[in-house]
Structure 1
Amino acid sequence: MQRTGLMIIAALAAQTSIAQQTVDAKDSTYTTLQQVVVSATHKARERSQTPYSIEVLQQPAQQMQQARTTPEALAYVPGVFVQKTNHGGGSPFLRGLTGNQTLIMIDGIRFNNATFRFGPNQYPNLIDAFSIDRIEVLKGSGSVQYGSDAMGGVIHVLTKKQDYTAKPTWHANATGRITTQDMEYTGRASAAYSSNHFMMQAGYTFRQFGDLVGGDTTGVQRPSGYDERDWDVKMAMQLSDKTELIVSSQQVVQRNVPLYHRVKLENFAYYRFSPQVMQVSYARLNWKPGMRLVNEASFTALYKYSKEGRQYNRNGNANFYDELDKVNSVGATAEVYSSFNQWWTANSGIEWYSDKVRSSRIRTNGSSVFNERGLYPDAAVQDNFSAYSLHHFRWRKWVAEAGLRYNHFINSLPGAITQLPGQPKENAVKLTPASLVGNASLLYNINPKHIVYASFSNGYRAPGLDDMGTLGLVDFRYEVPAYDLKPEKNSNIEFGYRFAGRRLQASATFFYMHINDLISRVRRGTDSIQGYPVYIKTNDQQAFVRGFEISAQYQITKQLRAQSYVAYQYGQNLTRSEPMRRIPPMNGLSSLLYQASKWYVAVEHQWAAAQQRLAQGDKDDNRIPKGGTPAWMLWNMHAGYQASSFSVKLSLHNISNEDYRTHGSGINGMGRALVAGVSYHL
């Protein structure tokens, strides 16, 4: 308790918020109140005038911290806590929720699909950080703006796009990065061409990660390393003064990604994801006719593809398993921006997504090969239809937001689905969950320095194919299908305050979220399969999460800046009279940055309190130590130099070589390590 108190005092004493700076002394990726954001309202707006809690992370691959992956970069965002089941994963928590209860978007397109797993998952790590321009994190809202899954909030990834130039211009960049003890070798090459009406860009990333080396007593955590290859391409063309066409495609491929805790704790000879593939492609037509009813419009056609292979074998078991899940997704969206008058505007649109799943399992025993039912029902389909209208009002010192969204799903699960070994086959299943949700918020500018706001929003998550159709080994349990689920829903209330002075910027947010019809796993009697207890998802619980987030930034001198944040969440399952599962502990970060014209140096302190409030599911989880996850604190140092054509960055992580684990993770964090990065620009 004493250590926790010291950590809180250290965080707040700096009177500041997160350090996410780039090498350029003229720029900062810190979420200043003057930044422009789009995710909260579907329209560009100053962050200070947005009545929601939203943070911005600029170019995560170029951060001074040199975060290894997209989810590890998100760990530096106020109010975001990242769990890592394995070194190739990373699951961000927003307002105590994660996995398929948090929505990920890429350039306005849903990244989530029907098989995104319940609880922590690895999917955010399938977004190449080098392709990202910025990430906007909308906390406690998003179902009205973007649809199902946004119960905890929205992580909106906006990829890089070259600007048009008056004269034909070429740009090229080469980046290399290494981490001591062979933990990382990364290479990135990109090129771009732009002219008055046309631009194109392309990039390729090569990554090799060795086994993760933990702190002073952990040492090498083997197996945990893996390989990754990524590419991205984007083209934009100005068809006329009012029309623009954008075509984009990106892909991440990871191979031989181990689940360390399965090998270490569950007597597996091996358990790995291979391959993990995620591709997102779209074509978007932007039209700006300038009319009152249709001031702007956009039309998007999209295609997504994911593939996840799993291979595993337990020591002493003659059965070798090879599972493969593929999801092909197509969709189309249309949105219209209306400007009725100087104080009333609106965004309205329709969306359609369709996910088709192919799932298989091959069991090999000696020379015998058996084709079995996969983790999901093969050829299952989820169709997702929605329509929404978001209205924005601005009058004198007041800003107001209000919106509605209707969402309808059709989940089609084919027949011949074996629920448990030895049981009869089932008939085809079709479920059609639907939801109508709304939001409303109000902001008041007390004066140019002080702003207060309040917001209310409904959230929901329609049950996906992972909820209803899963059959097989998941984490430390064996899961069976559940076909009677309905959408889980929540209500979010938030109050916020922002201050923007000449030197000090600060914000404070207080929130309460109530969840109804919570989908959770429950033990099914005393059944067990393959030595694992049998679980099934149910839909009959209520819970709440409350908490606060406080952040500030203080410009001590022209070159010296201090920053800090602290976040706290308390979750309770009302039905079971126990804590909610995996609620993050109180956590925060403080830093002191000296930034000159071409170089910088920074000291950083990151910490988390102990989490000893455990649900029964936490106590049963072999990834969580008995009695809870201990508190930890890290000290890091960063330095960099920016010349006209190249930059150099050095980061010394975990200077004290502390052993630590973020709550709920299946692997310990990195011990003392030096990261060196070099970029060359043409």
Structure 2
Amino acid sequence: MKKIIILWALLGAYAESYAQVIAIKDREDSRPLELVTLSSEDPTVLLLSGAKGKVDITAFKGADRIEIRSIGYQTQTVSYDELAKPGFSFYLKPSSLSLDQVVVTANRWNQSSRDVPVKITTISAKEVAFQNPQTAADLLGQSGEVFIQKSQQGGGSPMIRGFSTNRLLITVDGVRMNTAIFRSGNLQNVISLDPFSIENTEVVFGPGSVMYGSDAIGGVMSFYTLMPKLSDSAKPLVSGSAVGRYSSANSELTGHADVSVGWKKWGIATSISHNDFGDLRMGAHGPDEYLRKEYVERIDSEDRVIQNKDQRVQRPTGYSQINLMQKIRFKPNDRWDFDYGFQYSTTSNYARYDRLLRYRRNLPRSAEWNYGPQEWMMNNLTITNTASGGLYDQMSIRLAHQFFEESRIDRDLNDSERRTTLEKVNAFSASIDFNKQLNDKQKLFYGLEAIYNDVISTATNLDIVTNVSVPGAPRYPKSNWASYAAYLTYQLKASDKVTFQAGARYNQFVLNSKFETTFYPFPFTTAKLNNGALTGSAGLVYHPASTWSLSANLSTGFRSPNVDDVGKVFESEPGSVVIPNPNLKAEYAYNAEVGVAKVFGNRVKVDLTAYYTYLDNALVRRNFTLNGQDSIQYNGELSQVQAIQNAAKATVYGIQAGLEIKLPAGFGLSSHFTYQKGDEELDDGTTSPLRHAAPWFGITRLSYTAKKMRLELYGMYNDKVANSELAQEEQGKDYMYAIDADGKPYSPGWYTLNFKAHYQLTDLLSINAGVENFTDQRYRPYSSGIVAPGRNVIVSLRARF
């Protein structure tokens, strides 16, 4: 029997060799490349590489010119004899200087970025593996084009074009992650996504409301997770990877594994990751105000203020996280494709570090301030149909259910009462999207969408001495929030050089809330909203030549009031309490932008985008009254009453610039730079800097690439913000910022120098290593409550099969 198996294997290998089957691979890491185009004119042949990059080139026999092309790689022309050389592998060299790449987010369908009149940045899984981000927030930040704010280690709130939190939209596999309790304060929901399971990330800058509805004002961050791969033969296709990683700045220990098994019609993919992060250590060189001099521990039933033995260690900041993903794919024929995905993420409790820095009467204000486990679960079914003729060429149906759970746990110093609020959201969504090629110049994208969120909020107050608990004041009213929409986008390819695109969306949003008046004497018991919003966009792309791209775009975006806006009760800052306001309308953004990109001699690429955004009817927190009173008792303290109101206008403008240079001998230089300025109207008619308009920031990289190795030296940098340039609400937060010569809080500028390396040990095994912030700078990114890591050594080992 053993002889028969060996003979069969030898015959299979001989047959494959005789048929001249080769594998197309990435030159840098030997990764197989699927869907690579191979073509020739004599003989006339067009082929695509399949599973594991394999393609039978027998049909090219005798050809002198075979063109091998794949987006993101240099096009190569070889003869059949060169392609058929012993080794059975052909390596493509990545090229980052093309103006053409495939994007999905702009219109929900695969299309060339050359035809899209807005700025889109893509982050590949290969780049993520090289940079080794600890969280999805770090993944976005290391692009150098998205600014990340952090209030604690278990967090990361993206800022894009002066907007943040619930004015930015997050989607996962085409499903919106934003819920009715996404707040205007900093958000950390993006950390629920696992960088190891993300296959591609796209960031659309500027309003995306025509395609995605509410919240897409500053931009859309779209994450696409691993898909099961199908086999093109009777033999199952098995692939996967395993990763182990250590980082020194927080003693991180991370493990990950994923596997995909594909048959001709069925495929499954499984992914699991576990992260354990210790307390975060800051750098040695920087403001002394950032040092963690003392912290609170409860010892022998007593709160004690402990002197920190190592003031550079931020105690407590550690936490752990688990991510799971399971996908099933069924493709019975070329016309139908069914994809089901299950994703789950949960964290341990983790400290809201910036809240632990506040003092009252020269003692820490809080003994504990934690977020409870952040739990997210999604079930998503996507059905795709390809038709010939009729109302559409392609149709995609998405049905999804998401469950979110989060909680806040706090207790003041020497207070026996521990307050806990718990929020649960069930989010249901259904959408149907179509695209239709009317003729060789015109195309339509259109669809319908329905969203429903059910919000339940509870609270308990526990006496930790007697262990007796009683109901507490919930953060939100019992609520439901719904959105119903229809959209249409028209694209005209007027010529090979000119593409025009315009679209519109109508959205109806409905909110119903029932308030708990046991704890607060609100003059109302319910809140109801039922309003509509109309948004549109129009843009033009002009290519004078294949190396030139000019674009212009006008667009509007909106955000409808959600449960967090209408019904929240919480302490915004010491001495202030936010109460419900049921009289709110949607806020609108009006945006204009122009872009230019140019490739010079396949060696230099320059791109520049300038934009201006005006936000009207802005939902902002302002002083308010309750039953005629401007202050009430809250958590035992007389507090100023505030509420979210349509009380402001805001403007933001800026530029985004990019430069890429291919240097000789495998070297390369790239840089991204963002500058923005924003202002917000105050109650007295004056203006204040917009809180989420980050100071200018950027990243510059010098890289070297060989066949099995990649090295990169890069710097990240961020301008300072003087006290007078801080948003009005930030100017008094001395616990969070450094102190200037006048004794006022400000945000110093900073830079880091970093080094990353990748080496492909074998086709299956690779090692990544790096040193981040190797000059050990002590810095706190603008508006952040936690100090960034000091010198951080990262080592990871990856096995791929």
Q: State the TM-score, normalized to the length of structure 2.
A: 0.80
Which of 726, 730, 736 is the equivalent residue of 1:623? Answer: 736
Alignment-mate amino acid for residue 339 of structure 2: I
Which of 282, 299, 319 is the equivalent residue of 1:214? Answer: 282
Partner of 2:650: 543
Matched residue of 2:196: which SS?
helix
Q: Does 1:179 align with 2:276?
A: no
Maintained 8 Å contact 2:230/2:237 = no
Maintained 8 Å contact 2:680/2:687 = yes
Partner of 1:262: 355
User: Structure 1 residues 640 and 678 mapped into 2: Cα distance closer, same or farther (>3 Å)?
Assistant: same
Q: Deviations over 1:474-527 (max 9, x none)?
A: 465422111111111010000100112311111000000001001111134455
Matches within 5 A, 1:154-233: 154-167=220-233, 168-180=236-248, 182-216=250-284, 218=291, 219-233=312-326
Matches within 5 A, 1:497-536: 497-501=596-600, 502-524=602-624, 525=630, 529-530=634-635, 531=637, 533-536=640-643
The 2-side partners of 1:32 and 1:323 are apart by 50
Deviation at 1:620, TM superposition (A): 3.3
Q: Deviations over 1:236-293 (max 9, x none)?
A: 1112221111000111100111111212225211111121101121111111112153
Which of 475, 478, 486 is the equivalent residue of 1:375? Answer: 475
User: Structure 1 residues 355 and 23 mapped into 2: Cα distance closer, same or farther (>3 Å)?
Assistant: farther
Q: Which structure carries more relative contact order (alpha carbon 8 Å, separation 6+)?
A: 1
Partner of 1:330: 428
Partner of 2:412: 314
Deviates most, 152-161 or 409-418: 409-418
The 2-side partners of 1:594 and 1:50 are apart by 31
Partner of 2:398: 300
User: Which structure 1 residue ranges, 5 or more long, are not aligned?
Assistant: 1-20
Q: Does 1:83 align with 2:149?
A: yes
Deviates most, 560-569 or 41-50: 41-50
Deviation at 1:165, TM superposition (A): 1.8
Deviation at 1:182, TM superposition (A): 4.8
Maintained 8 Å contact 2:321/2:345 = yes
Deviation at 1:623, TM superposition (A): 2.8
Alignment-mate amino acid for residue 319 of structure 2: Y
Q: Does 1:289 align with 2:289?
A: no
Matches within 5 A, 1:583-598: 583-598=693-708
Aligned length, in residue pairs: 659
The 2-side partners of 1:390 and 1:179 are apart by 46
Partner of 1:244: 337
Q: Deviations over 1:392-429 (max 9, x none)?
A: 111211111100111111101024445xx552563222
Maintained 8 Å contact 1:99/1:120 = yes
The 2-side partners of 1:23 and 1:122 are apart by 35
Maintained 8 Å contact 2:477/2:514 = yes
The 1-side partners of 2:522 and 2:730 are apart by 34
User: Structure 1 residues 422 and 545 mapped into 2: Cα distance closer, same or farther (>3 Å)?
Assistant: closer
Partner of 2:777: 658
Alignment-mate amino acid for residue 657 of structure 1: D
User: Structure 1 residues 358 and 650 mapped into 2: Cα distance closer, same or farther (>3 Å)?
Assistant: same
Q: Does 1:49 align with 2:161?
A: no
Deviation at 1:343, TM superposition (A): 0.8
Maintained 8 Å contact 1:61/1:130 = no
Maintained 8 Å contact 1:103/1:154 = yes
User: Structure 1 residues 294 and 495 mapped into 2: Cα distance closer, same or farther (>3 Å)?
Assistant: same
The 1-side partners of 2:792 and 2:642 are apart by 40
Alignment-mate amino acid for residue 198 of structure 1: W
Q: Does 1:638 align with 2:795?
A: no
Deviation at 1:41, TM superposition (A): 2.4
Partner of 2:676: 569
Maintained 8 Å contact 1:377/1:417 = no
Maintained 8 Å contact 2:29/2:707 = no
Maintained 8 Å contact 2:99/2:547 = no
Alignment-mate amino acid for residue 747 of structure 2: T
The 2-side partners of 1:430 and 1:180 are apart by 51
Partner of 1:4: none
User: Which structure 2 residue ranges, 5 or more long, are not aligned?
Assistant: 1-27, 32-90, 286-290, 292-311, 360-364, 625-629, 739-743
Which of 87, 93, 104 is the equivalent residue of 1:38? Answer: 104
Maintained 8 Å contact 2:458/2:474 = yes
The 2-side partners of 1:54 and 1:542 are apart by 27
Alignment-mate amino acid for residue 618 of structure 2: L
Which of 390, 396, 401 is the equivalent residue of 2:501? Answer: 401
The 2-side partners of 1:481 and 1:605 are apart by 45
Matched residue of 2:355: which SS?
helix
The 2-side partners of 1:88 and 1:581 are apart by 22
Maintained 8 Å contact 1:582/1:614 = no
The 1-side partners of 2:573 and 2:324 are apart by 31
Maintained 8 Å contact 2:164/2:692 = no
- Rg comparison, structure with higher value: 2
Partner of 1:453: 551
The 2-side partners of 1:605 and 1:315 are apart by 41
The 1-side partners of 2:389 and 2:414 are apart by 71
Maintained 8 Å contact 2:367/2:411 = yes
Maintained 8 Å contact 1:30/1:57 = no
Q: State the TM-score, normalized to the length of structure 1.
A: 0.93
User: Structure 1 residues 88 and 425 mapped into 2: Cα distance closer, same or farther (>3 Å)?
Assistant: same
Over the matched positions of the two proteins, sequence identity in percent amounts to 26
Matched residue of 1:130: which SS?
helix
The 1-side partners of 2:523 and 2:533 are apart by 31
